[in-house]
């Protein structure tokens, strides 16, 4: 099926399943299908369950890097844990600090290294720095215009960061080579262990 028809079909499958009230098991490698069709998702790797949860929790609160990377696009920033404050981890990224909610499957100590999960939509792009929020600086390496959004790859100190810009006007697009500030939206950040083997039911 072409892409447009696949979207229509999965909506129809979900409608039929809900109208009949039947329990269904749907096996797919298409992450979008899993998110749309499921009340509960089971993510597996090499025959082992990595996480069982609702779509929002799988996406926003993944058990490990494998789950985070499997469901949607993700950036992983190496960070050092400095401590906790008001129910959130305080982490350091180079000269910058950020906070992330305390997760049930990761209990680091100060000085431990973790990975900060930053989804592309959790980044605000600007040609100028406007806030005191955690902000990275980089250079645009790739721009892809998709109509309702634009996707960017931004080089930040040698690491490629994926970011999106919603409903961009023609004059709002950032060209390749443009310097950019990437403001991290703290509410959407999440701290993960550096390894991929932690699991959560």
Which of 195, 166, 197, 185 lies closest to 60 in space, CA to CA? 185
Q: Render the burial of 84-94: b for 16+ CB within 10 Å, e for the rest.
A: eeeeebbbebe
47 vs 50: CA distance, rounded Å: 9
pLDDT for position 177: 97
pLDDT for position 186: 87
* Tens digit of each residue's pLDDT, the chain (201 residues): 677 888 788 888 888 888 988 888 888 888 888 888 889 999 999 999 999 999 999 999 999 999 999 999 999 999 999 999 888 999 999 889 999 998 777 889 999 999 999 999 999 999 998 777 899 999 999 999 999 999 999 999 999 999 999 999 888 899 999 999 999 998 899 999 987 555 554
Query: Considering the entire predicted model, what is its pTM?
Result: 0.86
**Helix segments in the chain, DSSP class H:** 3-20, 31-37, 55-60, 65-70
Residue 28, token pair as written in the block: 């797919």
Architecture of domain 120-186: Beta Barrel (2.40)
* CATH code that applies to domain 3-70: 3.40.50.300
pLDDT for position 197: 54
């Amino acid at each position: 099926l072409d892409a447009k028809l696949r979207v229509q079909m999965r909506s129809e499958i979900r409608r039929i399943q809900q109208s009949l009230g039947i329990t269904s098991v749907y096996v797919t490698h298409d992450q979008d299908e899993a998110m749309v069709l499921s009340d509960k998702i089971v993510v597996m790797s090499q025959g082992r369950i990595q996480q069982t949860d609702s779509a929002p929790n799988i996406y926003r609160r993944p058990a490990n890097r494998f789950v985070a990377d499997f469901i949607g696009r993700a950036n992983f920033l190496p960070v050092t844990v400095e401590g906790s404050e008001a129910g959130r981890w305080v982490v350091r990224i180079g000269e910058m600090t950020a906070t992330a909610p305390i997760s049930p499957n990761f209990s680091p100590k100060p000085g431990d290294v973790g990975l900060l999960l930053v989804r592309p939509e959790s980044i605000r792009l600007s040609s100028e720095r406007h806030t005191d929020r955690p902000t990275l600086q980089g250079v645009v390496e790739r721009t892809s215009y998709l109509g309702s959004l634009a996707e960017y790859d931004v080089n930040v100190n040698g690491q490629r960061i994926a970011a999106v810009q919603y409903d961009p006007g023609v004059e709002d697009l950032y060209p390749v080579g443009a310097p950019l500030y990437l403001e991290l939206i703290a509410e959407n950040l999440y701290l993960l262990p550096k390894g991929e083997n932690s699991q959560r039911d």
